[in-house]
Amino acid sequence: MISAIIQARLGSTRLPRKVLLEIPKGSGATCLDRVIEAVKKSMIDRISLTTPDKELFEMLWGRWPLRVHHYAGKERNVIAEFFSIAIEGDTIVRITADCPMLDSDQIDKCIDEFLDGDYDLVYNTDESITMDGDGTDVEVFSYKALREVYLNATGNEKEHVTLWMRRNLKCKYVPVTFNGCSLNNIEDYERICKLWTEKEESDKICQSTQTAPAQAGQM
């Protein structure tokens, strides 16, 4: 089974409640909605979401066909939060909730690389190399690799789900050429809304171009 686990929270200091911002403005679809839509279009079998925020947990319960988990730990522990919802034996796809430009093709590409190769982790963004792909982040790994992180991560490795994997396990980096944008501040939000509007307009043009020959053939 291929399972996506989305981590979401409301407490961002630079842009509070950013996962609930509409993309684009006035669309009625939140940043988190856009992320879930992309995941649903991929080859993923099961979608789960984990959050430390009770408000977000109650808001999402029953809204989407996904498992929603409220991590009620006294201290923020991203690895423990993630591990607590993972299912043994699954291939796990880690998705972050602040990437509304995420594309289902990128998700499937990383999954294919993982399933076809002998890797513990396949990922498509690496800020130490380039910012290309920022905002389209996908990480694919086994339950076994996640369990090793849970048991062995120390220091700053505990602040990131896959940092220990990248340092200690067999990994493959699959770069993304699209220079996207993750949602970290108000400037990012303005840019993402602009990019999304341009994307919708481009999709409409492509759709009308494809529809015209079909209609002509029916005449």
Q: What pLDDT, in 10s, does the model give residues 60-113? A: 877 777 889 988 876 778 899 999 999 999 999 999 999 998 989 999 999 999
The CA distance from 115 to 140, in Å, is: 9
- The superfamily CATH assigns to domain 2-218 is Spore Coat Polysaccharide Biosynthesis Protein SpsA; Chain A (3.90.550.10)
Q: Can you give the pTM of this predicted structure?
A: 0.88
Angstrom distance (rounded) from CA 131 to CA 149: 25
Please give the Cα distance from 131 to 125 (Å, whole number). 8
Predicted confidence (pLDDT) per residue in 8-66, tens digit: 989 888 898 999 999 999 999 999 999 999 999 999 999 999 998 899 998 887 777 78
Q: Is the pLDDT of residue 211 over 70?
A: no
Q: If you ran DSSP here, which 8-state letter would residue 133 be given?
A: T
Distance CA 135, CA 132 (A): 9
d(CA 210, CA 97) in angstroms, rounded, equals 33
2 pLDDT above the threshold of 60:
yes
**pLDDT exceeds cutoff 80 at 129:** no
Q: With 0-12 CB in 10 A as exposed, 13-18 as middle and 19+ as buried, what is 213?
A: exposed
Per-domain residue ranges of the chain: 2-218
Return the percentage of the chain with pLDDT > 70, whole number: 90
